[in-house]
């Protein structure tokens, strides 16, 4: 029986050892880093769901073992399917190189390989460009006949109505902190820095019955799953939000997602979201210094955003406000203003990263045109290392500003304050009134 091994390279990476030591000493960042590292790679589990009985398969989360290559080789694979983001692509390349030396065929996919397929082909036998589901069966057929082509390009966006059921049972039944499912792919907005919203095509929605099938399957494995929706912007542009949220409510799950702060301006949506089990929503507030192009109606005045945050939290859903440091116009003063803004806000969770021009984004193209890209070591494209020339500050000044706002925001006192706030918010949640610690 032919065998395919699936290997994701995921999680938070910090290239500069000093920044790693600093950032990871901050509990808020460390917790999020661990959560990201442990998130199942839904894309590969979905491809596993397309295999027929002719194939056996195995799943190897790259972070879980130091003997990854040996573990994969032990399965005697006919094909190894690898996915990686920009920050982890160098690790994925090294892994593919090792397998190539051992004579094992590899196919590499994901956002980075989609944007830079020629670069990826230096390391893998084949590169998947775009939605993997569209070309996966062809890749398998060619792998079996040892006639892999260099590129497999999805010629059109995959229709999520045909979504295969992800093979959740490849994951261990114990110790999965969060499962992932996807309700939509892409985003109607096109924020200049966003590396996810458009690279795989326009925004598409998975039909409610398909999501229902996934949740039903998941609950046969884990009766009380804690789920992270692997969406770019849940509910944005979706017309059947009421059907979707009512269906999710039937499953009595708890989940975390990412959405647009504007959901807070529709009380019916927020109420239904809380009833459906959403306990935390990450919203991109972005920069106090600069309004990125492409943000559409998401771009507006702070007071209006913070009012929406209050409405969402009043319904028992913790808001994780995301901010970017280092946009054009950033100064020492604006960074300190951000620290004050966050400290005075009611946000119960916060995420701060430095502006990162991921390849394939409009931001990368603009900074490249302006000759401001300083560093093309992909492992530094990790949301904490500075890889471009800021327009006003020096790189060193921006880095020390980033440290300042991180330590102001994630110090023990601020963390304790936000933890208390989270518990306070969740006490209002219709499904979470007991058992909070
Ligand atoms: S709203 Fe979020 S997902 Fe959509 S384009 Fe902007 S950053 Fe990307």
- Atom 1 (ligand 1): residue with closest C-alpha? 189
pLDDT over threshold 80, residue 404? yes
b/e code 204-238 from CB counts within 10 Å (16+ = b): bbbbbebbbebbebbeeebeebebbbbbbbbbbbb
Q: What residue ranges line ligand 1, CB within 6 angstroms?
A: 187, 189-191, 194, 196-197, 232-233, 284, 298
pTM to 2 decimals? 0.93
Q: For residue range 52-64, what is the model confidence (pLDDT) as tens digits? A: 999 999 999 865 5
Span 283-303, average pLDDT: 81
Which residues of the chain does CATH 3.20.20.70 include?
178-426
Q: Hey, which of 182, 196, 363 would you mutate to test ligand 1's pocket, going by the most ligand atoms within 8 Å of its Cβ?
A: 196
Q: Ligand 1 centroid vs 22 CA: distance in angstroms?
A: 28
Task: Supply the DSSP symbol for 373.
Answer: B
User: What is the rounded average pLDDT of the residues 176-181?
Assistant: 86
Q: In the prediction, which pLDDT does 183 show?
A: 97
With a cut of 50, say whether residue 437 has pLDDT above it: no
Model pLDDT, residue 202: 87
Query: Out of 236-240, 261-265, 322-326, 417-421, which region has the weakest mean confidence (pLDDT)?
Result: 236-240
User: In testing the pocket of ligand 1, which one of 232, 293, 363 has its CB within 8 Å of the most ligand atoms?
Assistant: 232
Which of the listed residues 284, 305, 358 should we mutate to test ligand 1's pocket, taking the one with most ligand atoms within 8 A of CB?
284
Probe target for ligand 1 pocket from 204, 233, 262, with the most ligand atoms within 8 Å of CB: 233
Atom of ligand 1 nearest to the CA of 190: 5
More confident residue, 218 or 299: 218
The pLDDT tens digits of the residues spanning 106-146 come to 999 999 999 999 999 999 999 999 999 999 999 999 999 99
The top-scoring range by mean pLDDT among 14-18, 275-279, 288-292 is 275-279
Instruction: Judge whether residue 92 has pLDDT over 80.
Output: yes
Burial class of residue 433 (count of CB atoms within 10 Å of its CB; 0-12, 13-18, 19+)? exposed
User: What is the Å distance from ligand 1's center to 134 Cα?
Assistant: 24
More confident residue, 200 or 53: 53
- Sequential DSSP letters for 290-317: ---TT-GGG---HHHHHHHHHHHHHTT-
Orientation angle between helical segments 241-250 and 267-275, nearest 10 degrees: 20
- Looking at the chain, the domain(s) classified CATH 3.40.50.2300 span 3-153
Q: Chain-wide mean pLDDT for the chain?
A: 90
Architecture of domain 3-153: 3-Layer(aba) Sandwich (3.40)
The CA distance from 111 to 120, in Å, is: 11
**Once rounded to an integer, what is the mean pLDDT over residues 203-218?**
96
Return the pLDDT at 23.
56
CA of 66 to the centre of ligand 1 (A): 34
Per the model's pLDDT, the better-predicted residue between 22 and 350 turns out to be 350
Mean pLDDT along residues 277-281: 97
Q: Scan for tokens 């949740």, then name that residue.
A: 215
pLDDT at 301: 78
Residue ID of nearest Cα to ligand 1 atom 6: 191
C-alpha of residue 43 to centroid of ligand 1, in Å: 19
- Find the mean pLDDT for residues 156-168: 95
Fold of 178-426: TIM Barrel (3.20.20)
Mean pLDDT of 88-92: 94
- Output the CA 197–ligand 1 centroid distance in Å: 6
SS3 16: coil
CA of 330 to the centre of ligand 1 (A): 21
Distance 18 CA to ligand 1 centre (A): 30
Q: Return the ligand 1 atom nearest residue 232 CA.
A: 3
Tokens of 125: 């036998």
Cα-to-centroid distance, 186 and ligand 1 (Å) = 8
Q: What is the DSSP string of 171-236?
A: S-SSS-S-EEE-SEES-S---TT-SSTTTT-S-EE--HHHHHHHHHHHHHH-SS-EEEE--SSTTT
Query: Measured in angstroms, how far is the CA atom of residue 191 from the centroid of ligand 1?
Result: 5
């Amino acid at each position: 029986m032919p065998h395919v091994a699936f290997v994701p390279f995921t999680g938070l990476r910090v290239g500069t050892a000093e920044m790693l030591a600093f950032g990871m000493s901050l509990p808020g960042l460390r917790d999020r880093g661990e959560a990201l590292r442990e998130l199942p790679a839904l894309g590969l589990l979905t491809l596993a769901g397309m295999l027929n009985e002719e194939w056996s398969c195995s799943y190897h989360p790259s972070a879980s073992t130091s003997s990854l290559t040996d573990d994969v080789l032990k399965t005697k694979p006919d094909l190894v399917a690898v996915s990686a983001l920009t920050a982890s692509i160098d690790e994925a390349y090294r892994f593919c190189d090792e397998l190539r030396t051992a004579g094992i065929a590899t196919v590499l996919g994901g956002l980075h390989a989609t944007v830079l397929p020629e670069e990826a082909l230096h390391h893998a036998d084949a590169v998947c460009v775009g939605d993997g589901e569209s070309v996966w069966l062809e890749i398998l057929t060619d792998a079996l006949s040892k006639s892999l082509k260099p590129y497999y390009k999805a010629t059109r966006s995959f229709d999520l109505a045909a979504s295969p059921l992800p093979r959740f049972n490849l994951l261990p039944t114990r110790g999965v902190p969060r499962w992932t499912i996807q309700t939509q792919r892409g985003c109607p907005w096109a924020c200049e820095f966003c590396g996810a919203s458009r690279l795989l095509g326009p925004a598409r929605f998975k039909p409610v019955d398909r999501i229902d099938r996934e949740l039903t399957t998941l609950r046969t494995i884990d009766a009380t799953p804690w789920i992270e929706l692997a969406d770019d912007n849940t509910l944005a542009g979706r017309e059947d939000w009421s059907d979707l949220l009512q269906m999710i409510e039937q499953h009595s799950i708890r989940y975390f997602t990412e959405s647009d702060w504007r959901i807070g301006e529709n009380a019916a949506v927020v109420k239904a979201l809380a009833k459906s089990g959403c306990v935390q929503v990450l919203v991109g507030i972005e920069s106090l210094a600069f309004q990125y192009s492409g943000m559409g109606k998401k771009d507006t005045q702070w007071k209006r955003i913070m009012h929406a945050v209050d409405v969402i939290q009043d319904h028992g859903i913790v808001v994780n406000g995301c901010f970017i440091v280092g946009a054009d116009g950033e100064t020492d003063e604006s960074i300190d203003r951000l620290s004050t803004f966050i400290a005075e806000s009611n946000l119960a969770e916060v995420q701060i990263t430095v502006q990162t021009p991921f390849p394939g984004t409009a931001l990368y193209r603009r900074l490249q045109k302006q000759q401001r890209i300083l560093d093309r070591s992909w492992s530094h494209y990790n949301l904490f290392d500075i890889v471009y020339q800021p327009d006003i500050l020096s790189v060193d000044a921006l880095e020390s500003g980033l440290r300042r706002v991180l330590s102001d925001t994630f110090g023990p006192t601020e963390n304790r304050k936000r933890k208390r706030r989270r518990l306070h918010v969740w006490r209002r949640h219709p499904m979470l009134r007991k058992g909070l610690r």
